[in-house]
Structure 1
Amino acid sequence: MSAPFDTTALSPLKENMKKAYDSVAPLYNEWTRSTHLIRIHYIKKLLEHLPASPDLLTILEAGCGAGDPITSLLGQATDPKTGQPRFKVIANDISTSQLEMAAARLSEFKDRVEFRGGDMMALSCADASLDAVVGMYSFIHLPREEQIVFLRRVYAWLKPGGWFLGNFSVQELESAFDERWLGCGVDGGVMFWSGWGAEKTCEILGEIGFEIVVQETVKDSEEDNGKSIEVPFIWVLGRKKN
């Protein structure tokens, strides 16, 4: 099962990030396993709020990586009463390598998962067409102004009463680059992060129109050059008002 990739030209910043994730994909997928329980915890919070429906609910996952664990969980989800599939997932990632691994992992569920490769800023969805949008450890890779633009698009894409789940940097960070992160610079890759900080991010979401239902700070334990460090993220579950 191949994963289609948007051929729209990437900016130098995004091209370098794509190279970075392509070059470290298997290592990254192992390195990030420490966050799986956190990811699953918050996706379950989202699922608690999604309505029962005879039709498939449509969820956009921006930054699906290799599909483990969230895309897999959503793709396999069934209605406990009927046993019928519950979701149609639109899975996006900028990394060709990650997307190919996700497509292979989820080949059994290809009728439920649609892959869209490329910059999430190039995504296009019809207004009021999505039941939920999820982004885990992905929005932090957008320049700060792009984060605002994308979140406004998400609000438009969501149906009235639709849900948004994502995490962001707790600290304000205009921009940070690292060509050594997990060895990603071997093929010219450079990793990038940015953030508005917890308070400003929630302010932005509120100004866009989201009702914030959950706002929590969680510290990840990460390995950095053989040392364990704690990195805080703010997790936000928001609802588009009717």
Structure 2
Amino acid sequence: MADFPQHGRIRHSYDTVAEEYRSRIGDELTHKPLDRALLTALLEQTEPGTPIADLGCGPGHVSGWLATQGARPVGVDLSPAMVALARRDHPDLDFREGDLLRLPAADGEFGAAVALYSVIHLAPAELRPAFTEIRRTLRPGGLLLLAFHLGTEVRHLTEWWGHQVEVDFHFLDLTTVEDLLTTTGFSVEARLERTHYPQEADTRRGYLLARRQDG
């Protein structure tokens, strides 16, 4: 599948830190009660048995948790190394390599989607096309759960856990993202923010739960 050249640095960076990322982040949901609650709310409003996209799935830990709740997750990640780890740790689940701007999925394939801290690597101009692409893969009425760091800064990393990388983390404004979702065919049903948990980086976190609108 064709890729977007500007995303090569992101892919390489996550390939480089994949094993370290898994060891540090792979159990993060155990100490994130709000995230689990929001994921549960999404599951309760999604038709049982319909695939749920985990966009930017990393080593597959969120997909793994969704599966324990009886869901049918499909993980998608830009990094081949991350996808390999996810397939190794969760051999019974479906993981695919892909870009948020061109997802490896059919129109209306997913009953819902989650994108936890994955849109933070998109340039501002890429958010609208990414939301349009996510909407394409959702069934009518399907829910999308987004999580991201709040603010206006861009953190550029050249070193991450002792590894050389080249990756940007875009902090986002909650209202700006909500407006973009609205103009790409979603209706935002919930928005909230929280401070960081003790185990997390010191940033405020934003969440939006939006539903695909039709007609």
TM-score, L = length of structure 1? 0.77
Deviations 1:162-217 (A, max 9, x none): 110111231124x43211122331xxx21212244111111111222322222111
Q: Aligned partners of 2:187 and 2:107: how far apart in 1?
A: 19
Per-residue deviation at 1:63?
A: 0.7
Match of residue 209 from structure 2 = 237
Distance 2:83 2:104 in 1: 18
Corresponding position of 1:81 = none
Deviates more, 1:22-31 or 1:128-137: 22-31
Match of 1:115 among 71, 88, 95: 95
Q: Aligned match of 2:155 in 165, 176, 182? A: 176
Alignment pair present for 1:26 and 2:19:
yes
In the alignment, structure 1 residue 206 sits paired with structure 2 residue 178: no
Between 1:92-101 and 1:116-125, the stretch displaced more is 116-125
Q: 1:229 to 1:96 in 2, by over 3 A?
A: closer
Work out whether residues 17 and 160 of structure 2, in 8 Å CA contact, stay in contact via their aligned partners in 1.
Answer: no
| Residue identity matched to 1:237 | L
Query: Which whole-Å CA distance do the structure 1 matches of 2:169 and 2:157 have between them?
Result: 9
CA contact (8 A) 1:21 1:184 kept: no
Q: 1:62, CA displacement in angstroms? A: 1.0
Are the counterparts in 1 of residues 149 and 171 from structure 2 also a CA contact under 8 Å?
yes
Aligned CA distance change for structure 1 residues 164 and 212 (closer, same or farther; 3 Å) = same
Aligned-pair RMSD on alpha carbons? 2.3
Unaligned runs of 5+ in 2: none
Q: Which runs of 5+ in 1 are unaligned?
A: 1-5, 79-85
Pairing of 1:65-84 with structure 2 (within 5 A): 65-68=58-61, 70-78=62-70
C-alpha contact 2:54 2:74 (8 A) present in aligned 1? yes
Indicate the structure whose relative CO is greater, using CA pairs within 8 Å and at least 6 residues apart: 1
TM-aligned CA deviation for residue 222 of structure 1: 6.8
Which of these two proteins has the greater Rg computed from alpha carbons?
A: 1
- Kindly indicate whether the alpha-carbon contact (under 8 Å) linking 1:103 and 1:115 is maintained by their aligned counterparts in 2: yes
The 1-side partners of 2:97 and 2:193 are apart by: 30
Percent of aligned pairs with the same amino acid: 21
- Number of residue-to-residue matches in the alignment: 211
2:89 is aligned, of 102, 105, 120, to 105
**Counterpart Cα distance in 1 of 2:203 and 2:111:** 30
Report the TM-score when normalising by structure 2. 0.86
